Amino acid sequence: MSESYGIIASFPNTPAFFHAAEKVRDAGYKKWDTYSSFPVHGMPAAQGQPRSKVPVFTFCGGVSGFSLGLSIVWFMNAFNYPLIVGGQPFFSPVFPFPIMYELTILLSAFGTLGGMFITNLLPQHYNSLFNSDKFLEVSGDRLVIAIEARDGQYDPVATRRFLEEIGGTDIEEVSA
């Protein structure tokens, strides 16, 4: 018998989905997730998740960009080959500002996108859930909660019953 990934359950509408997620959180499950084709307002709190860590990556990117811009302009126009232009000083924080600004934004953007991928552990082109037909319907309008088998509290029978109790239908076990 192939290993089980976990159990998925579907919910009829967004409010039911939302409240069911709160109940799963309160029941103490740790390795589970909600699946919907659109972000549900307030779901991170309902799932008991902390704030996203993506801003850390953004900040690192931004600081690198800023320093890079500053160093480029200082090195190239004031140190390595000083240029006299328009009577302006060899280096001042005023005129390199556009360069520093743009590089800050560029590297912050890369940081953000990279941060999003890293915190989401993407790319991850394979996941057991893709084998389930019902799961593929999440792209349409299906709202699914999946509780993974590796969760400490997972029990094939008890978890299934729990999902039924909180309003889940079309309950299916997904193989790994």
Partner 1 sequence: MSSDTTNSKGNNVGLIALVVGIVGIVIALFGFKQGWDNGDVRPIMSWLIGIGFWLSIAIGMLFLTQIWYVFHARWPTIIRRQCEHGMAAFPYLLVLFLPLLAIPFLHENPGLLWKWMDGHNALPGHGTVGEDPLYQWKSPFLNIPFFAIRAVGIFGVFILVSGLLRRWSFNTDTTGDVNNLHNARRLSSLGLFLTSIAMTLGAIDWFKSLEYHWFSTMYGVWFFAASMRAAISALLILCVILAAKGYLKGILKQAHRYDLGCLMLTFTIFWTYISFSQYFLIYSANIPEETFWYNIREMNFDGTRNSWWWVSMGLIFGHFLTPFLCLLWYKTKVVVWRTVLVACWILAFHVLDLYWNIVPGKMVTPDHGPGYLVRQFSISPYDIAALIGIGGICIFAMCRSMKKAEPIPVRDPNILTSLNYTE
Partner 2 sequence: MATTTQDSSMDATQAALLAKVQPAELQEQPLVTNNRDFNWVTDKICRIVETKTPTWWWICMAVALMTASFTGLGLLWLVSSGVGVWGLANPINWGWAIVNFVFWIGIGHAGTLISAVLCLLKQGWRTSINRAAEAMTIFAVVCAGIFPLFHVGRVWFAWWLFPIPNSNGIWPQFRSPLEWDVFAVSTYGTVSVLFWYMGMIPDLSVLRDRAVQRLKKNAYEGAGALAKGMDIFRKNFYAIFAMGWRNAGNHWRNYEMAYLILAGISTPLVLSVHTIVSFDFALAVLPGWHTTIFPPYFVAGAIFSGFGMVLTLMLPLRALYGMHDLITQRHIDNMCKICLGTGSIVGYAYIMEFFIAWYGANPYESFAFINRAFGQYWWAYVMMFSCNVFTPQLFWFKKVRQNWALVWVMSIFINVGMWFERFVITVTSLANDFLPSSWGYYSPTMVDILTFFGTFGLFSVLFLLFLRFLPLMPIAEVKFVMPAADPHGHHGDEKGDHH
Q: How far apart are CA 170 and CA 6, in angstroms?
A: 14
Does 95 engage in binding with partner 1 (CB under 8 A)? yes
x/- contact string, 85-104, with partner 2 (CB under 8 A)?
Answer: xx-x------xx-xx-xxx-
Place of tokens 């999946």: 146
Does 80 bind partner 2 (CB under 8 A)? Our answer is yes
Nearer to partner 2, 62 or 157 (CB): 62
CB pairs under 8 A, 24+ apart, for 91-96? Answer: 96/69, 96/70
Report the residue from 26, 28, 41, 175 that binds partner 2 according to the rule CB under 8 A. 41
**42 is a site residue for partner 1 (CB under 8 A):** yes
Choices 39-47, 148-156, 158-166, 168-176; region in contact with partner 2 by CB under 8 A = 39-47
Task: Round to whole Å and give the CA distance between 162 and 20.
Answer: 10
Residue number with CB closer to partner 1 (90 or 97): 97
- Any idea of the CA torsion for 59, 65, 67, 68, to the nearest 10 degrees? 160
What does the block give as tokens for 69? Answer: 């811009």
Q: 85 or 122, CB closer to partner 1?
A: 85
Does 51 bind partner 1 (CB under 8 A)? Our answer is yes
User: Quick one: what does residue 33 bind among partner 1, partner 2, none, with the CB cut-off 5 to 8 Å set by partner type?
Assistant: partner 2
- Shortest Cβ distance from residue 106 to partner 2 (Å)? 4
CA distance 156 to 151: 11
Residue with tokens 């319907």: 137
Closest Cα partner for 146 from 18, 38, 24?
24
Residue 140 Cβ vs partner 1, minimum distance, rounded to whole Å: 28
Binding partner 1 by CB under 8 A: which of 39, 50, 87, 152?
87
